[in-house]
Structure 1
């Protein structure tokens, strides 16, 4: 059942009342208090129109999905010296997709990993492997929309995709909360006032008022902290070693078509990987020594 809320004089129909954090963002960035209205009215506005409540100069930043990585719109933006975002697939991707992503990143695109609030370890594993593949993410995309639990997640920049289910979107501003940044993100439906991240903009989109969001994201995997920023990846010595060793599983992932973050969680910690790696080397050396000894005895 929907409810009607008065937001800065706009009557908005939504399915639920916003959580305290989202309500705080509206007060902080729009200067609006949210109040429920008991009586219905024929003049109702869509939640997507809220960006027009408090007009502000329009700024935006383009982001592309992998299927649009070499589209006319993407190429036009790259040719203009603009660095767009590129969304990394949430599931297993093929060699062809990998090289497509790698090419986009080499052209200047900025990797963005999909984040699920209920599965932070999945994101951490995927981000670590993406780093090993040369696709180190600098931001996270939350496709399911705003979730108050995001404020308890690691610091960094989160793109919050607006849902078309009559839920209140984030204010169209650069939202800073403690060590986190949140950005209103939409699939292109036209430009609104304020600041938005736009997914797959058309090839004729005006390339003015481009504004980059803050870059950087943190994650923790097997007790190791990783900080990804425009300057590179910052972690412990064991963390760097784990990134290097994680490349070992990538060919197996492609061969068996298994989701590589799940492989990581199955086989355990970085110490287990190190032991497996060193054990494999020792086993190969032992086999080589046995073969040489057998050949030497045969020749005698």
Structure 2
């Protein structure tokens, strides 16, 4: 593994936002609220998709996976960040740092592939509506979901393998709030240009190829939309695809900024704020983006609330009858 001027047992120091002490309390409050909303909204989508039979469709199957990914991804970094902001403990062991790096890469890579799968689902729904249920067979959906997870895992194994064996030395403080590739590379004792080139190729494959595929699917969708004459049809397609496109832009835009720019031009200060976007804000926004104009989810939520209210009403009635006897 890495080698330090002092023992690895002392671990690493996550600087976080301690270089802006006046921001730590507002950030702690802001991130706590966003994290709570992320947990609540994503758990709500997962629960509704499992309980409501009307949501047992391919798009909600993939949306469940996306919500689970967002839950895990934000949980892999935010609790550590909140501890850091509270000033209780800014250290992390080297093993914990590598584990956090690996988990974040696995979940991020899986989401990158899953967004391609969801674009394919939208392509099948818009361009081949009559054959949609045949194309998006449950076995294919499960296979695509597994492929997403395997793709994310392979991406993490490759990139973690390239970074974990770099000899590290000097001050072991990371100017970040979690263990991310650009800041880890800055601790390396040796020339990292070869490693950076390999990481750039790996990052380009897992980022650029999915974006190219998504653009290809949406080019076909755009052609299909141009053939639709009614405004109602246009609005329906926009409602079907608009949410996914917005999520793609938010997630891929911030990821490309971090992983596809030369390490020499990487700004640690800017990097921290960009990382806040895809670790805290994006996982919270995704459920809102997908459900804000989604009538199916709103109806499912209304049905669950009514069902709970009716159940409580029956229990109260039974109590009243029992007491009157």
Q: Report if TM-score (shorter chain) is over 0.5.
A: no
Between structures 1 and 2, the one with greater helix share: 2
Asked which structure has the greater RCO (Cα within 8 Å, sep 6+), the reply is: 2
Between structures 1 and 2, the one with greater strand share: 1
TM-score by length of 2: 0.28
User: Whose radius of gyration is greater, 1 or 2?
Assistant: 1
TM-score by length of 1: 0.30
